[in-house]
Structure 1
Amino acid sequence: MIPLALLVGADADVDSIRIAFEEGSLTTLKIVIGAILLGVALETRPSDFLAAAKRPGSIAIGVVAQFLVLPALTFVLTLLLDVRGSVALGMILVACCPPGNVSNILTHRARGDVALSVSMTAVGNVLAIVAMPLNVAFWGSLHPTGKELLEDISLDAVDMLLEIGTVIGIPFVVGIAIATKWPRFAERAGKVVGPVAFLALGAVIVVGVAGNWSIFVNYIGIVLVAVFLHDALALLLGYGIARATGLPERSRKAMTFEVGIRNSGLGLVLVFAFFDGLGGMALVAAWWGIWDIIAGLAVAQWWGMRAGRRTPEPVA
């Protein structure tokens, strides 16, 4: 099989480059990701977890798709594309990231089951604290070229768990506490914190790309096709597994975005915190964050237009 790097005309070794990212910028990125998770939590209520408990089948389908099937299919895709080790690790890392509240927005825009989407986002972020480091360590150690990079880095799943717990867990707990004690304030704050945090994330990515423009231009071709196929795979997996298990159309839409939309900003934090800005990983995470929203908006807009005046289906 012809390596993807040659298909796109990039023969340089992306595994050997490191993306420059100052300590202050990394701290800013962590704060921004924490703010995004705070925004998710401010719009989450204890009733969302109760709602999830009343729909265990749908939630279980989403959990299996996100934390078991998607990483496994991603691993297979990296082998089929024959990507470089760092690109493979970047794809695996993104696949293991939890969803964000962008999935809720897209589900609403597509006229899908927003209640299911919100419940799955809440459950997914809690489970990701433990599942994400285990998944990255497991699938990365199995990859024929990625495992060598992991050995050089000496990745510690426990350290990653603590980092994810700090970035996700603390803001999530704080946000839930505020939402429980001051629900009206949380509702108003959530409408501001989430969007502002995403704009800030976009600004951090733009500044990072500008500071490494020559690397971005020279190597972006290596990840364009991989990210396109990977993102399409994630969205199709969400829809396919929902349809195969008999979920109604509105729930299929929610499942599509919960599985297909990943919080790659968290992935970027981990790339710089644990992988020393490894080139292919950083490029995958950064470009995924951009392309994922473009593709998701396109799908949501298409679904929203098709929905028209259809009679809403009952939820599963």
Structure 2
Amino acid sequence: MRGAGADLHVIGLQQGAALGIPVGLQFQNDLLEGQHGCELGPTPWQNTLAGVARPVAGKAAYPRKPLILRGFLAVSLPPRGKTNMTTQQLVLSLVLATMVFSVALELRVEDFRRVVRTPWAVLCGLIPQFILLPIGTWGATLLLDLPPNIEAAMILVAACPGGSLSNVVTHFGHGNTALSVSVSAVASIIALVATPFNFSWMIAANPATASWLRELAIDASGIWLSLVLLLAIPMTLGLLFSHKLPRLTERIRKPLGNLSLLALLLFIVAGLIKERQLLTLGLLPLLLIVVLHNASGLFFGWLTSVAMHVSTRDRRAVMIEGGMQNSGLALGIIAVQFHSDLGMVTLASLWGIWHIVSGMSLAYYWRSKDARSAH
């Protein structure tokens, strides 16, 4: 995919994916060859994923078309020349904006002032994302004998920043939400430079992936638009609402938070139920890689926060920021610049599923721990 059409797709994909919005599990056949005229050759992981592929008549050279796993991320390729969000993406964006608004109802401007007075904590949240996880991932790809496209996908995910969903998970886990929001905002801006830089040096420094080197084109307008619409506006409205209408805020805060969280979980469950027949044992090897990779991000967040002696609430925020990478942004880049390579798309999509599971599980553990300590 090249030229102006490809540029339009970059903008549309990154606007939909810049904050890693989770959506239902979806497999889309004919995505590349039918809609975009891209031909894919077989990859080393097609045999592993044979359980989710089906024969297509009339394709002697390539008897099985790849099914594109879009998993839990608001990333889809619009028709050629268009960048409109789908209805599903729009609904999920509204759900996420509502969740951010409900989180903001429990924050005060003073919370952000404390973050400004302690930039050390923000730096602590950025180190795992842009230094430790990329270096650790690069080292893992050198040690592990994995297919080059899988290693390239791991490197790309590690090079991406976190998304605003991490703010919601941090809040649910009684972490420092203001710190999480601040780190997410700063990380998204830094990512315009750091993501292409980290991806380039890691890919080039690994002999197995050197041929996968690309000059990543990250659309700045998409990042800014997502930050404004899905983070800045609902966060500001929530702060103003709680300041101007404290009594009403107290009445709606908990029900609104529970409702938005329930809506998010319903989307996830509905997607899993709808596509349950496609969840085969063939995905287990990739899922294991994703679980360990995600665990390393959480570990690097914990290690950094302990080394820098931040508070417990700050440590929780830093861990979530380190473990919830924006695999939605990674999927957008993969679709446009790597022709939706099956192995890369599958790994990035599984990241989108698992980091929600691991993040929410960790947050629930922290909540339970706090409840026990209170008694």
Q: TM-score, normalised by structure 2?
A: 0.63
Say if 1:49 and 1:201 are closer, same or farther in 2 by CA, change over 3 A.
Answer: farther
Residue in structure 2 matching 1:156, options 205, 210, 215: 215
Residue in structure 1 matching 2:222, options 167, 170, 177: 167
Say if 1:204 and 1:99 are closer, same or farther in 2 by CA, change over 3 A.
Answer: farther
Q: Pairwise mapping of residues 1-316 of structure 1 onto structure 2 (< 5 A)?
A: 13-14=44-45, 19-20=67-68, 23-24=77-78, 28=86, 51-150=114-213, 155-157=214-216, 159=217, 161-162=218-219, 165-174=220-229, 176=232, 183-184=240-241, 213=278, 217=280, 219-308=282-371, 310=373
Whole-Å Cα distance in 2 between the matches of residues 224 and 72 of structure 1?
21
Q: Is the 8 A contact 1:36 1:193 kept in 2?
A: yes
Percent identity over the alignment? 28
Whole-Å Cα distance in 2 between the matches of residues 143 and 30 of structure 1?
36
Q: Is the 8 A contact 2:298 2:320 kept in 1?
A: yes
Q: Is the 8 A contact 1:41 1:172 kept in 2?
A: no
**Size of the alignment, in residue pairs?**
287
Whole-Å Cα distance in 2 between the matches of residues 82 and 282 of structure 1?
19
SS at match of 1:251: helix
Say if 1:218 and 1:24 are closer, same or farther in 2 by CA, change over 3 A.
Answer: farther
- Which string of whole-angstrom CA distances, capped at 9 and with x for unpartnered residues, describes residues 30-58 of structure 1? 86897788678867799576554321111
- What amino acid sits opposite 1:156 in the alignment? E
Greater shift in the superposed pair: 267-276 or 32-41: 32-41
Q: Is the 8 A contact 1:32 1:200 kept in 2?
A: no
Higher Cα Rg, which structure: 2
Say if 1:261 and 1:181 are closer, same or farther in 2 by CA, change over 3 A.
Answer: closer
SS at match of 1:308: helix
- What amino acid sits opposite 1:224 in the alignment? L
- Which string of whole-angstrom CA distances, capped at 9 and with x for unpartnered residues, describes residues 131-168 of structure 1? 22222222122222222133xxxx223x2x22xx2332
- What amino acid sits opposite 2:364 in the alignment? Q
Whole-Å Cα distance in 1 between the matches of residues 128 and 114 of structure 2?
19
Q: Is the 8 A contact 1:19 1:278 kept in 2?
A: no
Q: CA deviation at 1:234?
A: 0.7
Whole-Å Cα distance in 2 between the matches of residues 233 and 23 of structure 1?
31
Structure 1: where are the runs of 5+ without partners? 1-11, 312-316
The answer to which structure has the higher helix fraction is 1
Structure 2: where are the runs of 5+ without partners? 1-42, 48-64, 71-75, 243-248
Q: Is the 8 A contact 2:112 2:178 kept in 1?
A: no
Say if 1:93 and 1:203 are closer, same or farther in 2 by CA, change over 3 A.
Answer: farther
